[in-house]
């Protein structure tokens, strides 16, 4: 069973914040869902390999070549929440 | 027949013969949108003027006798998960509410190269997380067959728009059934190709090892036409497979004599709606009468698909969604007083509850001490699920299953019970886990007048077999001609 | 009685690879570009982008692995290391975790004449993060520059085999020399293209188990690595002497204060949630590729130095100096091979006293001094036409202009006087003009030999052939 403080720790890792009641709800829901996942415990997978990709081919590689891109200008202008000159700006990192 | 009701194939023909212009066709769709959008809520963004301009440009070129690509001037729409240069791309999330991408994704670029007309961006579950299009930050999309019902999800806006004639066709994405389930619930055709068949570059990632792009159309031929356009190897997507793309319209044959259709017994479970079951039985009977051979097969690990999926997909999502941090683009909370708050408040205010729930789940199953028990375990079960299919395809050409356990449910019916919602993907999820191609096509209407869909699944890169089986069935039945009376 | 401790050190070294483009995208890696201009949608972590691996990066990592006697993995896996920081655009770093590309290698180091083998646990591929500026513009903010984000790195993790700061420094220098020689890294610690973290612990001599280690960061020179380790050893010894314990933590070296400071407060227990990156399929390296790279590996500094000592009979010191820079070593060897009778040692003197200085002080113009030019000039020395000192001046001119060697010599009026009659005449005059010194020399002050040489040279405007002057003087002074 996941306790509220575990949920709080996970939230911190995920950079999310919740109110107390939200934490309670999440703990309940997560317990319900994780409980549902317990049915996997019944399967013996000790000799089974993990599948992390749906395709079974070697990863492709590209030539070491530069392709110019100029997306930064419009990104800074149209999308950056805050910027100064050519920099993205964030609250001071202490 | 009104113009907005044309299939893509019909429109291509009429445009070529100059019976209609692209501007007329586009205007007809826009008029249909204007007429129905307040009821349906299919679109997040409309690109009205740009669409008409694109259409007129194509008409001009056609008038000059320039050679044009097949899809030139065809008005289509995109799920708002496709990155479109200069056109707002929100993924139905507040965190991307004002995001204007500086680049086009590969599937979209292929449509642009065909001179398609973009009508707008379609509603969806936030970051494609949901099965009902109720988790969108902007609006709930309604099912055009009955406005009290959900259209399915996450590509619910796409399904609703295609079914209602708000566009001739659309692209969706499918991570656990997000193309096939809404296609089934809205009575249209939706295909999720083999993982690696269509590039994921420029598609906002939900769960990278499961996501796949696919067409959502009125019929099987249109599906083949659109897949022809978007399929193929992309050097910008390492998981895209370098393998020739056949002309899928060549597979549209009506003769299925000797075709072996497998029916997995695990799909005919207790929770299966009686009318859905009946429709499936009718479909099997139809195939039998067309000369196909029906074979019962077993996919013994079917019941593990949902728990496996709800470990793997949130895990990948928790990492994929870490880039929404308020630094470079997207929402930044005005309430943040320091760096930690910038992260926490931007993400907490920017993401909706379902997205947060999945980020939490995913973070948990990857965290120290739980990785082996959840994540690694699920990856191993994924192997077992793949093997089930591999064995089945030793015996049969395609598998036939219901797409969903029930027809569309009411808006709000499952939104407070995440687990119940997750179970509505029970028949589609394992196809993503295995990476196989799967299509949903209409096969009935419930007594309440809601569409019922069936799913055809084939082996890796055997989309042709799906198109073949689907087309034969479609031509023998009338379900694909049924339209909501809206 | 106090216990004596043994120091245990392991190093983690990050080396930036000298590729044109980034590890997972086609953005440029050029150093010094305006902020955020070496970016593209992938570098910026925009929604929808995907990584594609740069083959050049893999090739360089294999070269590094081969040069450090590692096994090259036929199959390795990229993983995501998840954490939030403004310089990390995707919220995760793509790295290698469980299956790195290189494993189980070693290199030899030499400290106080003693050779020692240092084990290398692994070399893995990963992407660099961007940079945060804390003192630009408005001081309430930090500024993010993502030019460095996605620059390819190899991280080399050593075994905890080093027992002193000197060994750590020797290992680090050797590793850098190898990477620079391979042409895969420019090895610049100040600019951060070669960075080192040190894991340091101490244990009572004779004890098998390791003590608790501290991880030292932020040491941007070899000197600072040594200082930081020495400081850390003293700090840990003092703690234990006080009956306290060493805590496992990350400590930042403050070079100005000469102390390390705990980072603990900033870094709450991190959980990186590593998992295989679903966007990148396994990296498959086939044996033929490795074989091809093995065959094209350059001779490394250490081997080259041994060979120079053996083949050219030059001292170890000279060989080490010459081979420290691959281009100089090759330059020198080509020159020596083009000469007939001049001793290799003389050529190495010329390089060590003069050409290395030129290369360092005026690298832009040094390129003009090709081995061919050096050979041409030294041929004149061999044949006695000019002196070695004149040769140096000619070399300076060669670097400074595009003039032909012959023209430079003509313009300078460089002609060496080797004619015995002229020299004898001059020497006789020098001896006659300095009777006191002559008497002193004959009385046993043999140091005055140099005085007579100098006077003779002066009289002939420095153009006398010193060898011939020496011979004649010796003869005359004996009589
Ligand atoms: Mg490390
Ligand atoms: Zn590292």
* C-alpha distances in Å from residue B157, one per residue of B21, B45, B140, B143, C165: 26, 11, 9, 9, 65
Helix axes B220-230, B106-113, angle to 10 degrees: 100
Q: Do C26 and A69 touch (CB under 8 A)?
A: yes
pLDDT the model gives residue C443: 87
Residue B154 annotated as catalytic: yes
pLDDT the model gives residue C128: 98
Q: Is the pLDDT of residue B130 over 90?
A: yes
- For residue C162, the 8-state DSSP code is B
Round the average pLDDT of chain B to a whole number and report it: 97
Classify each residue of B180-207 as buried b or exposed e, where b means 16 or more C-beta atoms within 10 Å of its C-beta. Answer: bbbbbbbbbbbbbbbbbbbbbbbbbbbb
Residue B279 annotated as catalytic: no
pLDDT the model gives residue C264: 66
For residues A61 and C27, what is the distance between their CA atoms, to the nearest angstrom? 15
Q: Are C468 and C438 in contact (CB under 8 A)?
A: no
Q: Which C positions 17-46 lie with beta carbon below 8 A of chain A?
A: 19-21, 26-28, 34-37, 39-41, 44, 46
Residue with tokens 């409980």: A35
Structural domains of chain B in order of their starting residue, each with its CATH number: 3-260+395-481 (3.90.1300.10), 303-380 (no CATH)
pLDDT in 10s for each residue of chain C, 479 residues: 578 999 999 999 999 999 999 999 999 999 999 999 999 999 999 999 999 999 999 999 999 999 999 999 999 999 999 999 999 999 999 999 999 999 999 999 989 989 999 999 999 999 999 999 988 888 899 999 999 999 999 999 999 999 999 999 999 999 999 999 999 999 999 999 999 999 999 999 999 999 999 999 999 999 999 999 999 999 999 999 999 999 999 999 999 999 999 986 444 567 999 999 999 999 999 999 999 999 999 999 888 999 999 999 999 999 999 998 888 999 999 999 988 777 888 888 889 888 888 888 888 888 888 888 888 888 888 877 787 888 888 888 888 888 888 888 878 777 777 778 888 889 999 999 999 988 899 888 888 898 998 889 888 877 788 888 888 988 888 86
Task: For ligand 1, an ion, list residues with CB under 5 A.
Answer: C 12
Tokens at B160, concatenated = 């609703």
pLDDT the model gives residue B157: 98
pLDDT the model gives residue B117: 98
Candidate list B21, B22, B79, B279, residue with the active-site label = B79
Establish if C36 touches chain B: CB-CB under 8 angstroms. Answer: no
User: Subunits with at least 3 CB pairs below 8 A relative to chain A?
Assistant: B, C
Of C18, C352, A81, C338, nearest in space to B328 by CA: A81
pLDDT the model gives residue A1: 83
Q: Is the pLDDT of residue B50 over 70?
A: yes
> For B354-410, what is each residue's pLDDT tens digit?
999 999 999 999 999 999 999 999 999 999 999 999 999 999 999 999 999 999 999
pLDDT the model gives residue B131: 96
Establish if C148 touches chain B: CB-CB under 8 angstroms. Answer: no
Establish if C271 touches chain A: CB-CB under 8 angstroms. Answer: yes
User: Among A41-45, B432-436, B437-441, C447-451, whose mean pLDDT is lowest?
Assistant: C447-451
Q: What spacing in Å lies between the alpha carbon of B229 and ligand 1's midpoint?
A: 45
DSSP letters for A10-60:
HHHHTT----HHHHHHHHHHHHHHHHHHGGGGGS--TTPPP---SS-SPPP
Q: Which residues of A touch C130 (CB under 8 A)?
A: none
**Phi (first) and psi of residue C461, to 5 degrees:** 65, 30
**ipTM surpasses cut 0.85:** yes
> For A31-79, what is each residue's pLDDT tens digit?
999 999 999 999 999 999 999 999 989 999 999 999 999 999 999 999 9
**Per-range mean pLDDT, top range of A90-94, B439-443, C473-477:** B439-443
Considering only the beta carbons, identify the residue of B201, B204, B316 that sits closest to C278.
B316
pTM of the model: 0.91
Establish if C426 touches chain A: CB-CB under 8 angstroms. Answer: no
Q: For C391-396, which contacts have Cβ atoms below 8 Å and span 24 or more sequence positions?
A: C391/C350, C392/C350, C392/C354, C395/C354, C395/C355, C395/C358, C395/C369, C396/C358
Its CATH class, for the domain covering C420-478, is mainly alpha
Give residue limits of the domains in chain A: 4-41
* C-alpha distances in Å from residue B336, one per residue of A92, B343, B345: 12, 8, 6
Q: What spacing in Å lies between the alpha carbon of B430 and ligand 1's midpoint?
A: 37
DSSP letters for B29-96:
HHHHHHHHHHHH--EEEE-HHHHHHHHHHHHHHHHTT----TTTT-EEEEETTB-BTTB---TT-GGG
Q: What spacing in Å lies between the alpha carbon of C13 and ligand 1's midpoint?
A: 8
Q: Do B209 and A49 touch (CB under 8 A)?
A: no
B243-272 mean pLDDT: 95
For residues B457 and B471, what is the distance between their CA atoms, to the nearest angstrom? 14
Pairing, β B212-217 against β B189-192: antiparallel
Q: What spacing in Å lies between the alpha carbon of B129 and ligand 2's midpoint?
A: 33
Residues of chain A with pLDDT > 90, as a percent, come to 88
B26-36 mean pLDDT: 98
Give residue limits of the domains in chain C: 5-289, 308-393+400-408, 420-478
Q: Which residues of A touch B338 (CB under 8 A)?
A: 91-92, 94
Q: Which residues of C touch A52 (CB under 8 A)?
A: 275-276, 278
Size (chain B), residues: 486
């Amino acid at each position: 069973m996941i306790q509220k403080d575990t949920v709080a720790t996970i939230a911190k890792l995920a950079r999310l914040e919740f109110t107390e009641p939200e934490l309670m709800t999440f703990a309940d829901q997560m317990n319900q869902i994780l409980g549902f996942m317990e049915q996997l415990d019944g399967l013996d997978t000790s000799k089974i390999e993990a599948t992390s990709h749906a395709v079974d081919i070697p990863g492709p590689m590209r030539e070491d070549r530069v392709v110019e891109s100029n997306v930064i200008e419009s990104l800074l202008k149209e999308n950056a929440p805050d910027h100064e000159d050519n920099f993205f700006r964030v609250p001071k990192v202490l | 027949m009104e113009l907005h009701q044309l299939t893509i194939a019909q429109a291509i023909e009429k445009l070529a013969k100059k019976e209609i212009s692209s501007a007329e066709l586009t205007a007809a769709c826009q008029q249909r949108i204007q007429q129905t959008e307040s009821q349906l809520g299919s679109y997040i963004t409309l690109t009205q003027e740009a669409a008409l301009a694109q259409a007129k440009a194509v008409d001009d070129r056609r008038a000059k006798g320039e050679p044009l690509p097949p899809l030139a001037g065809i008005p289509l729409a995109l799920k708002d998960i496709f990155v479109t240069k200069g056109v707002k791309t929100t993924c139905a999330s507040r965190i991307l509410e004002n995001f204007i991408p500086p680049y086009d994704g590969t599937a979209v670029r292929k449509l642009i190269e065909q001179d398609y007309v973009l009508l707008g961006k379609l509603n969806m579950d936030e970051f494609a997380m949901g099965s009902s299009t109720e988790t969108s930050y902007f609006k709930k999309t309604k099912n055009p067959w009955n406005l009290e019902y959900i259209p399915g999800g996450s590509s619910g806006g796409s399904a609703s728009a295609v079914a209602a004639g708000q566009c001739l066709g659309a692209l969706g994405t499918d991570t656990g059934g997000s193309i096939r389930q809404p296609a089934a619930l809205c009575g249209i055709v939706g295909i999720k190709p083999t993982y690696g068949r269509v590039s994921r570059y420029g598609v906002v990632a939900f769960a990278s090892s499961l996501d796949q792009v696919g067409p959502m159309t009125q019929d099987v031929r249109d599906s083949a036409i659109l897949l022809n356009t978007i399929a193929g190897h992309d050097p910008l997507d390492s998981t895209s497979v370098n393998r020739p793309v056949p002309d899928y319209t060549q597979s549209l044959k009506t003769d299925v004599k000797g075709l072996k259709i497998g029916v997995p017994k695990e799909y005919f479970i207790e929770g299966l709606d009686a009318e859905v079951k009946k429709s499936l039985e009718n479909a099997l009977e139809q195939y039998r009468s067309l000369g196909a051979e029906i074979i019962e097969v077993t996919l013994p690990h079917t019941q593990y698909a949902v728990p496996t999926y709800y470990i793997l997909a949130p895990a990948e999502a928790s990492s994929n969604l870490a880039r929404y941090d308020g630094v470079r683009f997207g929402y930044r909370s005005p309430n943040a007083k320091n760096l930690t708050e910038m992260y926490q408040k931007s993400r907490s205010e920017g993401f909706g509850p379902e997205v947060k729930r999945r980020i939490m789940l995913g973070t948990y199953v990857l965290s120290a001490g739980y990785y082996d028990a959840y994540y690694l375990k699920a990856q191993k079960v994924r192997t077992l699920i793949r093997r089930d299919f591999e064995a089945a395809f030793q015996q049969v050409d395609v598998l036939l299953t219901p797409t969903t356990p029930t027809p569309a449910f009411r808006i709000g019916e499952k939104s407070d019970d995440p687990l119940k919602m997750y179970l509505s993907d029970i028949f589609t999820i394992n196809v993503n886990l295995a990476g196989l191609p799967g299509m949903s096509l209409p096969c009935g209407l419930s007594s309440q007048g809601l569409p019922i869909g069936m799913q055809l699944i084939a082996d890796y890169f055997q989309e042709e077999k799906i198109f073949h089986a689907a087309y034969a069935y479609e031509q023998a039945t009338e379900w694909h001609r049924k339209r909501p009376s809206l | 009685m106090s216990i004596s401790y043994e120091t245990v050190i392991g190093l983690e070294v990050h080396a930036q690879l000298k590729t044109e483009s980034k590890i997972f995208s086609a953005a440029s890696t050029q150093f010094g570009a305006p902020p955020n201009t070496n970016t593209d949608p992938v570098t910026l972590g925009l929604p929808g982008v995907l990584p594609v691996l740069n083959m050049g990066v893999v090739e360089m990592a294999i070269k590094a692995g081969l040069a450090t006697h590692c096994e090259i993995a036929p199959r390795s896996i990229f993983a995501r290391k998840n954490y939030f920081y403004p310089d990390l655009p995707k919220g995760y770093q793509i790295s290698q975790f469980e299956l790195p590309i290189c494993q189980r290698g070693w290199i030899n180091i030499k400290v106080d004449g003693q050779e020692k083998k240092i084990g290398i646990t692994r070399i893995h591929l990963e992407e660099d993060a961007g940079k945060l500026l804390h003192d630009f513009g408005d001081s309430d903010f930090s500024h993010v520059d993502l030019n460095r984000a996605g620059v390819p790195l190899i991280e080399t993790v050593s075994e905890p085999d080093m027992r002193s700061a000197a060994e750590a420094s020797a290992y680090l220098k050797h590793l850098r020399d190898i990477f620079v020689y391979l042409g895969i890294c420019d090895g610049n610690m100040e600019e951060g293209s070669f960075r080192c973290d040190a894991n340091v612990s101490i244990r009572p001599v004779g004890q098998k188990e390791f003590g608790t280690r501290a991880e030292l960061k932020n040491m941007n020179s070899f000197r600072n690595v040594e200082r930081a380790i020495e400081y850390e050893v003293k700090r840990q010894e003092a703690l234990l002497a006080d009956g306290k314990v060493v805590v496992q933590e990350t400590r930042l070296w403050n070079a100005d204060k000469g102390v390390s400071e705990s980072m603990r407060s900033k870094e709450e227990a991190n959980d990186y949630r590593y998992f295989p990156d679903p966007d990148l399929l396994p990296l498959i390296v086939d044996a033929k590729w490795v074989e091809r790279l093995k065959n094209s590996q350059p001779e490394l500094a250490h081997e080259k130095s041994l060979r120079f000592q053996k083949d050219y009979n030059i001292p170890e010191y000279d060989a080490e100096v010459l081979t420290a820079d691959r281009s100089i070593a090759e330059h020198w060897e080509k020159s020596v091979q083009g000469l007939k009778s001049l001793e290799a040692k003389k050529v190495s003197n010329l390089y060590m006293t003069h050409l290395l200085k030129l290369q360092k002080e005026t690298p832009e113009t040094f390129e003009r001094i090709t081995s061919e030019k050096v050979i041409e000039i030294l041929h004149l020395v061999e044949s006695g036409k000019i002196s070695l000192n004149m040769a140096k001046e000619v070399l300076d001119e060669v670097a400074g202009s595009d003039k032909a060697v012959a023209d430079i010599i003509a313009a300078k009026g460089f002609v060496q006087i080797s004619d015995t009659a002229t020299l004898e005449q001059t020497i006789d005059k020098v001896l006659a003009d300095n009777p006191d010194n002559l008497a002193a020399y004959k009385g046993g002050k043999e140091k005055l030999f140099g005085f007579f040489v100098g006077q003779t040279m002066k009289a002939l405007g420095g153009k006398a052939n010193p060898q011939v002057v020496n011979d004649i003087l010796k003869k005359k002074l004996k009589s």
